[in-house]
Chains A and B, each alone.
Chain A
Amino acid sequence: MTGNRTRHDLGRQDEIRRAEVTTTRVARTRQGVFGDMVPARRTAPPRILIGASGAVAAVLLAPLVFLLIEARGAGTGTIAHLIWRPLTASLLWNTVRLTVVVTALCAIIGTLAAWCVERTDLPGRRVWAVLVVIPFAIPDFVVSFGWASLATWVQGFRGAVLVMTLAVYPLVYLPVAASLRGADPGQEETARSLGLGRARTFVRVTLAQARGAILGGCVLVALVLLAEYGAFEILGYQTFTTEIFTEFQVSFNVPTACALSLVLVALSVVVLGGDTAARGRGRLARTGPLAQRMTRRHRLGRATLPVLAGFVALTGLALGVPLGASVYWIFEGGAHAISGVSLVYAGWHTALYGGVAAALATLLSLPVALLAVRRGGRGGRLLERSTYLVLAMPGLVIALALSYFAERYAGGFGYQSAPLLIVAYAILFFPLALVGVRASVAHAPVGLEEAARSLGQGRLAVLGRVTLPLVGPGLAAAFCLVFLAAVTELTATLILVPTGVQTLATQFWAYQQNLSYGQAAPFALVIILVAAAPGYVISRYFDRLPARATRPL
């Protein structure tokens, strides 16, 4: 970030200098003789870094390879036959229409909410900023349970749209809010001074500034929808994921599960590719000096009350209903429902698996982030990009590929064991860890390490006194992000959880399947509580990011 600032400043000064001297004869001669530009300095990355990143990429892509091996084993003809069925078409229709509708709704709700909180004089902004994000920590299947257990009409397509929109809109809200906070408010003022009205300024400047963030959020929403199992199972809405789960776990029909998985992965790849294509080449970075002025917030005026009502409704539906339903069922279920021992037991295993997986994912992402941030280079970028493919693999597919492989080729070794579950988590949530670690590595520019070395410090001392203190908070945020995700994960856990062990999510699921709502509800509440703590840490960290980034250093 520091580098950016200086480069900006230098660029500007060069420009000014050039403007000053072009009129003189001397400058022209000077440029002709001296002005040949040289590409930026770039040293070759150390082999150990490339090796480590390569190994990480290999681990991450293993499930995809297993899936392809599986498909080959079943025979291309069989797979093609399994895919060309009316069932696939109906699943495709269900999945795609839900994805499109929910993604669009999330984009609208998330963007509007973010704009109101960040750019208007909405009363109680700070409280809303927290309340609006909390649904992020509530697993989709808990939201789904909350609604379905209270209202019978919440099911099928309508139910799925309602529940999923309320559960995942924070994925759009969070990046858009961050980007609006970091964007240059001066651009809006410039647009107004160029004669654009309020509405056109909003569309052409504000939305354009947040375009990347909105798109990024929409991609995450779409990927979550493609991967979701628990919520749709409760609502009785059939998608690829629910069908694959049934084929694999209930019917033990591996070839069918495998064929459908291929289609699902292909859909996710389309989503990811569409994102890259739609982003375009425009740069949204601010170009001026980075000192951020306070924005004059837009006045809501007469719209204040309706907007407030909207926020009350949104938090009521997204937060109040799932929480309320859980509390309601605890009281309704009676005293016998709460079994403290099994809660603690399941909670312990959840924390254990989540913690180890978070540490592993953070560790794995470190070399990739270092390579990508520090060394640029075509090889580094390619490696980093290849790890994005993980995003296209739903948890169910990863779990399926790993368990199938363990059973088939490792002689059952490791199948339904804790290490396999942890590895699955680490692969599944690697992209989350990478986000945090990348940001933190960018906080420790090479220049600082060089400064420390020129002051007589050896490599180890530099690591301990400079690099780790700077990178630490970001690593912690990455850890929390993965931990939160692992605690609220259900699909892969159901398949890979060690025999005889229950996590919070699987125990909740078991009770919920038996319609023992009173017994399931405490587990839902504990999941929310366990997920909320790291969620708070993360939001603090990422809130501070823009401020830190603009620090002149």
Chain B
Amino acid sequence: MTTAPAGLAATGLHKAFGRQPVLTGLDLNVPAGTLTAVLGPSGSGKTTLLRILAGFERPERGSVTIGDVIVDDKRRHVPAERRRVGYVSQEGSLFPHLTVEANVGFGVRRRQRHGPRVGDLLDAVGLTGLARRYPHQLSGGQQQRVALARALAVGPRIVLLDEPFASLDASLRAQVRADVHAILRQAETTAVVITHDQDEALSIANLVAVIRGGKIAQLAPPQDLYFRPADPDLACFVGEANLIDGVADGGLACTPFGVLAVHSALPAVPSAPVTLLVRPEQVEVRPGAEGPGVPGRVLSSGFYGHDAVIRVAPDPSCLPSPIIARVPGHLRVLPGSAIRIGVRGPVIAWPRHRPADTTTHRTDSVAAASVTAPQRGSHR
């Protein structure tokens, strides 16, 4: 914590295992002092990226810069132990033959090992009384906090965390996640957290990088990523999304829900076909068959206490595919009941280049999904 946090830049990283390319020219810029989440499904190359940054793995092409020092490129390779990069693995990787105290003090110089430094860190991660325990005597969450304290003890310029909460119970995860977030913030270090959990990424990070096809598809603050995703696929990947077709004219778009305000830049072509993103919480649901809005029937509903998520089959003459809506928990909508739906704008839109291609694919998958939903009554 004595060291100033450093920024990190990876440029044009290529890495393949056997014939399978994993990273294909990945660029990532992490500003100093931020907490950046790298989000992607399993097998997308997240861990490989982290291991390259930590120095356990060498990229075939590309370079890695930490602070203003190039640590990896064609000619140079600074080994892991000289990068001053803290690494917290999925399972924590605590040394089973050492106590908590000895684990945390592992990288500290011999003289300071039993000094106040280790004690302070244990206080910081909330494990004051557990210094003499062995790793197997700790719960999963405690182990992760020890692993974090151990990484912070050497005063790293950057901390890398590889799915640090994946091995924890759902109930424990939220708490440990908040703790770790607080500790990292207090330590004022640059951190990169890898995760396949979008809630995790959106809730703790300053910046979220979505990895797709071996590249970073978008790097943005959480709000921007959620409300202004770069393309329809990203919109579906981060959060739930309804994609509907429309025709854009200037700052407005004509849709089955009427004319909606569009707040993304669009080509200044009049009457351009576009795909619009409507988040479920932007969908307004009004009970009853009469009144404004698109008529439809509730296909299914899932109740989560604070809110409920319902699937609606709109009148096919208005909209071909079901719509997902998030409604307040107190609103009682039973499957089969008739409702009307509208959209609260503004929304964002992308030009539709290949109208047949992407949209059809999505409609098909929805049709397949709706087979399982209880569908009572017909629309006509």
B268 at the interface (CB under 8 A from A): no
Q: Which residue of B lies closest to A40 (CB)?
A: B17
B317 at the interface (CB under 8 A from A): no
Q: Is the CB of B17 within 8 A of A41?
A: yes
- What distance in Å separates the Cβ of A148 from its nearest Cβ neighbour in chain B? 49
Q: Convert A121-135 into 0s and 1s, putting 1 for each residue whose CB lies closer than 8 angstroms to a CB of B.
A: 000000000000000
Q: Is the CB of B20 within 8 A of A39?
A: yes
A48 at the interface (CB under 8 A from B): no
Tell me which residues across on chain A come within 8 A of B366, comparing CB atoms: 25, 28
B369 at the interface (CB under 8 A from A): yes
Residues facing B in A18-54 (CB within 8 A) are 22-26, 28-43
Q: Could you tell me which A residues sit within 8 Å of B by CB distance?
A: 2-3, 5-6, 9-10, 13-14, 22-26, 28-43, 443, 445, 447-448, 450-458, 465-466, 469-470, 551-553
Q: Convert B139-155 into 0s and 1s, putting 1 for each residue whose CB lies closer than 8 angstroms to a CB of A.
A: 01001000100110110
Tell me which residues across on chain B come within 8 A of A456, comparing CB atoms: 81-82, 84, 107, 154
- What distance in Å separates the Cβ of A375 from its nearest Cβ neighbour in chain B? 13
A26 to B150, CA, bound (A): 39
Is chain A's interface secondary structure helix, strand, loop, or mixed overall? Answer: helix
Tell me which residues across on chain A come within 8 A of B55, comparing CB atoms: 453-454
A42 to B19, CA, bound (A): 12
Interchain CB contact (< 8 A) of A9 among B82, B167, B237: B167
Q: Is the CB of B41 within 8 A of A41?
A: no
A42 to B154, CA, bound (A): 29
Q: Most chain-B CB neighbours within 10 Å: which of A2, A40, A552?
A: A552
Which of B89-97, B327-335, B336-344 makes up part of the contact surface? B89-97
A10 to B106, CA, bound (A): 28
Interchain CB contact (< 8 A) of B237 among A5, A33, A452: A33
Q: Is the CB of A29 within 8 A of B81?
A: no
- Asked whether A466 and B95 contact (CB < 8 A) given A28-B368, A39-B17, A447-B89, the answer is yes
A36 to B143, CA, bound (A): 32
Residues facing A in B112-168 (CB within 8 A) are 135-136, 140, 143, 147, 150-151, 153-154, 166-167
Tell me which residues across on chain B come within 8 A of A469, comparing CB atoms: 97
Q: Is the CB of B167 within 8 A of A6?
A: yes
Q: Please give the number of chain B residues whose Cβ is less than 8 angstroms from any Cβ of chain A in the complex.
A: 67
B297 at the interface (CB under 8 A from A): no
- What distance in Å separates the Cβ of B174 from its nearest Cβ neighbour in chain A? 15
A-B contact pairs, 7 of them (CB 8 A): A2-B91, A26-B324, A35-B41, A40-B17, A41-B47, A552-B136, A553-B135
B56 at the interface (CB under 8 A from A): yes
Q: Could you tell me which B residues sit within 8 Å of A by CB distance?
A: 17-18, 20, 22, 40-45, 47-48, 51, 54-57, 79-87, 89-97, 106-107, 135-136, 140, 143, 147, 150-151, 153-154, 166-167, 212, 233, 236-237, 239-241, 300, 321-322, 324, 361-362, 365-366, 368-369, 372-373
Q: Is the CB of B40 within 8 A of A553?
A: no
A25 to B47, CA, bound (A): 27
- Asked whether A470 and B96 contact (CB < 8 A) given A453-B80, A455-B106, A456-B107, the answer is yes
- What distance in Å separates the Cβ of B140 from its nearest Cβ neighbour in chain A? 7
- What distance in Å separates the Cβ of A94 from its nearest Cβ neighbour in chain B? 51
- What distance in Å separates the Cβ of B33 from its nearest Cβ neighbour in chain A? 20
Interchain CB contact (< 8 A) of B79 among A34, A453, A465: A453
Q: Is the CB of A13 within 8 A of B166?
A: yes
Q: Which residue of B lies closest to A33 (CB)?
A: B233
Tell me which residues across on chain B come within 8 A of A29, comparing CB atoms: 233, 236, 361-362, 365
A2 to B167, CA, bound (A): 11
